[in-house]
Amino acid sequence: MKLTLNIWRQNGPEAEGKLVRYEMPDVNPDMSFLEMLDLLNERLQAKGEAPIEFDHDCREGICGSCGVMIDGQAHGPMPKTTTCQLHMRHYRDGDEITVEPWRSAAFPVVKDLVVDRSAFDRIIQHGGYISVDTGSAPEANLIPVSHQVASTAFDAATCIGCGACVAQCPNGAAQLFTSAKISHLNLLPQGQPERWRRTQGMVAQMEAESFGSCTNFAECEAVCPKGISIDFIARMNRDYVKSRFKLAGSE
């Protein structure tokens, strides 16, 4: 099928960017979106032109590095689908598609469709781990965890840190990402010793980055490729309020 692509090209963080039009006359419907971009890059390189830079790694919907805005929607039109798992059969012959990088002050453009998502790493560094030394791995059933708690913690832990929540949010907020990373540890027994400091630290770092504030548009939940619920934002807010009293009482 024949497609027209309008793709954001930008040589560097300080350079001006613009949408460049490309014609793709023979796209195979069974291609993934990234395979279609690979084909375009092969043709550009054959003509001596610079290929389009875009992030990717596993191409299995696991790592989250492939995210781009497709026609104004993070990861494209299919729900709970990463860009690498989006296939061209979901488009029609003659369609015109606009491809842009994540749009957020916290994710500055590096080049073309590549953005710097290191702000997420810095949030994790401020509490997204368990540092208690437990020695060798304990027996799996030593600490009882209810099915409901384990299931909810797993739902939060499915976050792949792609940044779609931030890119789609009208405010550029990172509450869904941060709340998922906080909640999956705060729910489990192993995460309790550092629960309140973790919550304080990660929320403080989130606010120190260039993210906006959450006003419950729920756009983040709508585009999350793992379907993570905004209920985790409410859980994080409750833990944050509690942490102010818990830590004040321990000082």
Res 135: pLDDT: 72
90 and 126 housed in the same domain = no
What average pLDDT does range 6-32 have in this prediction?
97
* CA diameter of the chain: 67
Same domain, 196 and 100: no
Q: Do 206 and 144 belong to one domain?
A: yes
Residues 200-234: pLDDT tens digits? 999 999 999 999 999 999 999 999 999 999 999 99
Q: What is the CATH number of the domain that holds 143?
A: 1.10.1060.10
Beta carbons within 8 Å of 80's beta carbon, 6+ residues apart: 224, 225, 226, 227
The secondary structure element, H or E, covering residue 121 is helix 118-125
218 & 234 share domain? yes
Q: Based on the domain organization, do 93 and 124 belong to the same domain? A: no
Number of domains in the chain: 2
Query: For residue 39, what are the domain limits?
Result: 3-111
Whether residue 244 is found in the same domain as residue 130: yes
Q: Tell me, what CATH number does 70's domain have?
A: 3.10.20.30
Look at residue 119 and tell me whether its pLDDT is greater than 80.
yes
Of the residues 42, 77, 111, the one at which a domain ends = 111
Q: Is the pTM of this model over 0.85?
A: yes
What does residue 188 show for φ and ψ, rounded to 5 degrees? Answer: -90, 155
Pairing of strands 96-100, 3-9: parallel
178, 165 contact by CB (below 8 A): no
CB atoms within 10 A of CB 146: 8
Read off the DSSP letter of residue 76. -
Domain boundary among 111, 135, 170: 111
Mean pLDDT of the chain: 95
Inter-residue contact 199 to 244 (CB < 8 Å)? no
Q: Are residues 97 and 139 in the same domain?
A: no
My answer on whether 138 and 100 are in the same domain is no
Verify that 98 and 205 share a domain, yes or no: no
Report how far residue 116's alpha carbon sits from residue 143's, in angstroms, rounded to the nearest whole number. Answer: 39
pLDDT at 250: 66
Residues 149 and 91 in one domain: no
Q: CA angle at residue 83 from 63 to 23, to 5 degrees?
A: 140
- Cα–chain center distance at 249: 35
pLDDT above 70 for 102: yes
Rounded CA gap, 127 and 179, in Å? 12
Q: Which helix (H) or strand (E) holds 149?
A: helix 147-157
- Confidence at residue 236, expressed as pLDDT on a 0 to 100 scale: 98
- Mean pLDDT over 111-135 rounds to 92
Whether 9 and 66 share a structural domain? yes
Strand 114-115, strand 109-111: pairing: antiparallel
Strands in the chain per DSSP E: 3-9, 18-24, 69-70, 73-74, 96-100, 109-111, 114-115
pLDDT bin (cut points 50, 70, 90) of residue 251 is: low
130 shares its domain with 241? yes
| Residue percentage of the chain with pLDDT more than 70 | 98
Under the banding of pLDDT at 50, 70 and 90, the label for residue 249 is low
d(CA 71, CA 236): 32
| pLDDT on residue 24 | 97
DSSP assignment letter at 138: P
Q: What are the tens digits of pLDDT across the range 130-172?
A: 887 767 777 767 888 999 999 999 999 999 999 999 999 999 9
Out of 111, 143, 176, pick the residue that ends a domain.
111
Write the single-letter amino acid at 108. Answer: P
Confidence (pLDDT) at 132: 72
